[in-house]
């Protein structure tokens, strides 16, 4: 049995990955029983769609959704898992000083897990939705 997931454990895993550390992702909350994770991403110039626009580029948004989805599954499997597919529907421009991704694992089977991820701006507006499928094989 793997160690329990805590915000500190998850943050340490995020910080250990150079790409995720570059995005500046921070753990806001997690619920191991519900297989749910909340991650925040701050806006930095390197993540903007256009210089000075205040809008996040879709690439970092997708990376945030994928990472949140991965760790929603990781709580069921014990560690990070490979992404099989990620669909992102961008509903409105993602603007503001930070974004919040809320990922919930809907099902973790023997070989595949499905996760739904909602993305909110600081005003609580839904900006994007994602659905990810992940292998349940850790690694």
Q: What is the CATH number of the domain that holds 110?
A: 3.10.129.10
Distance (Å, whole) CA 32 – CA 45: 33
Kindly write down the DSSP assignment for every residue of 18-68, as one continuous string: HHHHHHT-EEEEEETTTTEEEEEEE--GGGBSSTT--BB-HHHHHHHHHHH
Question: What's residue 77's pLDDT?
Answer: 92
What total number of domains does the chain contain? 1
Residue 51: inside a domain, yes or no?
yes
Rounded Cα distance between 107 and 104, Å, is 9
Identify whether 2 is part of a domain. Answer: no
12 is a domain residue: yes
pLDDT single digits (tens) 87-113: 999 999 999 999 999 999 999 999 999
Q: Is position 1 within any domain?
A: no
Query: What does the pLDDT read at residue 139?
Result: 75
Is 79 contained in some domain? yes
Mean pLDDT (whole number) for 43-64: 95
Asked, for residue 11, whether it belongs to a domain, the answer is yes
Residue 123 within any structural domain of the chain:
yes
Say if 102 falls within a structural domain: yes
Structural domain for 76, as ranges: 7-135
CA distance 38 to 71: 10
For the cut 90, the answer to whether the pLDDT of residue 71 exceeds it is yes
């Amino acid at each position: 049995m793997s160690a329990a997931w805590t915000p500190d454990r998850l943050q340490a895993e995020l910080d250990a990955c150079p790409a995720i550390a570059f995005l500046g992702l921070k753990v806001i909350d997690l619920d191991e029983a519900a297989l749910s994770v909340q991650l925040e991403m701050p806006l930095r110039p390197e993540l903007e769609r256009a210089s000075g626009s205040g809008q996040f580029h879709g690439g970092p948004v997708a990376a945030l959704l994928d990472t949140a989805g991965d760790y929603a599954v990781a709580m069921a499997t014990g560690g990070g898992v490979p992404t099989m597919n990620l669909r992102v529907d961008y509903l409105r421009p993602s603007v503001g000083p930070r974004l919040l991704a809320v990922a919930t694992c809907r099902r973790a089977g023997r070989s595949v897990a499905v996760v739904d991820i909602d993305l909110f701006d600081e005003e609580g507006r839904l900006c994007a939705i994602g659905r990810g499928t992940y292998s349940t094989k850790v690694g």
